[in-house]
Amino acid sequence: MEIKTLAIAMGDFRVLQGTGDSPVLAAGWYVDLATGARVFYDPKTQNFYTLAGGVYIPLSYMNPAPKQVAVAPGDRLKITVSFNYSGPAITGAIIRYCIGVYGALGFNEAMVAENTRNLALATVPPAAYTDEYTFTIPTSIGSDWNDIYCKIYGGSPGVPQTLFGYENALSIAGLTPSISLFTIKDFAKV
């Protein structure tokens, strides 16, 4: 098996299997040179997957959350991203929003949504963009669905895949019945 080294927006990866010398990633197995993790790249979803099947998000893209928001089934959670862009006009860039579980097996994308954006030609200064998506928290939410990550990728001619995530951003409430401060309020002869 021929081993190649590729530099991509997520860092340096070494090809374990796949075809082509092009900087465009082909389906196949790669090694994250920073961690040694073996990951599979699927060009259809433009995701790297761990051996266990979770979406691979390198540690450098996950950050401690600056705050924690409590959500319960039925609540609505709006996630807003912002970024600066410079380069040619892009048609159909995809912004992906994910809520789930980040851990040793990768990121389990429990809730996923995507928006498509066109980006205008921009040079200096770069153009500032924001985008948002609002999730409705389902009754099936897991108590460990407390991580969020977003990425932008694709389009024509294509933007470099860029990721950012927060660990422990959500506190899931309302899943189990809870009684607190249970006491006898009073008792008296009547």
Q: Is residue 88 domain-shared with residue 63, that is, in the same domain?
A: yes
Determine whether 15 is exposed, middle or buried from the number of CB atoms within 10 Å of its CB (0-12, 13-18, 19+): buried
In a domain, 52, yes or no: no
Number of structural domains (the chain) is 2
Q: What is the pLDDT of residue 34?
A: 64
Please write the tens of the pLDDT for every residue from 105-127: 778 899 999 999 999 999 888 99
In a domain, 81, yes or no: yes
Q: What is the pTM of this model?
A: 0.72
In a domain, 54, yes or no: no
Q: Is residue 1 domain-shared with residue 78, that is, in the same domain?
A: no
Please write the tens of the pLDDT for every residue from 124-183: 889 999 999 999 999 999 999 999 999 999 999 988 888 999 999 999 998 878 888 999
Domain range for residue 2?
1-44
In a domain, 13, yes or no: yes
Q: Is residue 88 domain-shared with residue 148, that is, in the same domain?
A: yes
Q: Is residue 82 domain-shared with residue 123, that is, in the same domain?
A: yes
